[in-house]
Amino acid sequence: MSRIGNSPITIPDGVSIEISANKILVKGKLGEIEQEFFDVSLKMNDGILNIERNSDEKAHRSKHGLYRSLINNMVIGVSQGWTKELELVGVGYRASAQGQKLELALGFSHSIVMNLANEVKVETVSEKGANPIIKLTSFDKQLVGQVAAKIRSFRKPEPYKGKGIRFVGEQIRRKAGKQA
């Protein structure tokens, strides 16, 4: 029995939901997201959305909690938004943003220029004596996570010195170097 799938989703003010045959469209002040769903049914009552599975088959049980989490993330995204912060740890590592272009200097012979989707807003913070920080903001949680993972993949944190791109607050497991 899915505990996550059974909990209802409260719809805040300013968010509208349209349910068609097997699609849900969530609109809010920050944007709109559409999602297909299968093997579950959605019931809307007085600002509360309930997700019910069609039967007790394994495939239906497995998707019950999944669609509840996806729809809840959509509702939170269009009302509040999602933010991911990345920290550049290393000597000479820099980041700068011009519109939807993010330019990264990560110790390679060339700088990396990444074009971001229009739904993602990027901001860089560079303070003297602190590591540069990249802030990604969007209403789509999946897209923000995917863009953050792509940026992190350019220079993953290494376990000996801890240099690389990491999420703010992420703990890197450190290893001891060679024994002399």
pLDDT at 179: 82
Are 95 and 88 in contact, with CB atoms under 8 Å apart?
yes
Percent of the chain surpassing pLDDT 90 = 76
Does the pLDDT at position 1 exceed 80?
A: no
107 CB-near residues (< 8 Å, 6+ apart): 90, 92, 93, 155
Q: Kindly state whether residues 136 and 102 are assigned to the same domain.
A: yes
How far is Cα 79 from Cα 76, in angstroms, rounded to an integer?
A: 5
Q: Kindly state whether residues 7 and 73 are assigned to the same domain.
A: yes
pLDDT at 54: 87
Q: Kindly state whether residues 71 and 87 are assigned to the same domain.
A: no
Average pLDDT along the chain:
92
For residues 26-51, give the mean pLDDT: 92
The enclosing domain of 151 has a CATH number of 3.90.930.12
pTM for the model stands at 0.89
Q: Kindly state whether residues 64 and 89 are assigned to the same domain.
A: no
pLDDT at 125: 94
Are 86 and 151 in contact, with CB atoms under 8 Å apart?
yes
pLDDT at 61: 86
The 10s digit of each residue's pLDDT in 69-115 is: 999 999 999 999 999 999 999 999 999 999 999 999 999 999 999 99
Does the pLDDT at position 39 exceed 90?
A: no
Q: Kindly state whether residues 89 and 163 are assigned to the same domain.
A: yes
Q: Kindly state whether residues 92 and 135 are assigned to the same domain.
A: yes
Are 140 and 35 in contact, with CB atoms under 8 Å apart?
no
Element (H, E) at 43: strand 40-45
Domain count, the chain: 2
Does the pLDDT at position 150 exceed 60?
A: yes
The 10s digit of each residue's pLDDT in 55-74 is: 888 888 888 999 999 999 99
Task: Indicate the pLDDT class of residue 4, thresholds 50, 70 and 90.
Answer: confident
Task: Indicate the pLDDT class of residue 2, thresholds 50, 70 and 90.
Answer: low
Domain range enclosing 114: 82-167
For residues 149-155, give the mean pLDDT: 96
Q: Kindly state whether residues 99 and 49 are assigned to the same domain.
A: no
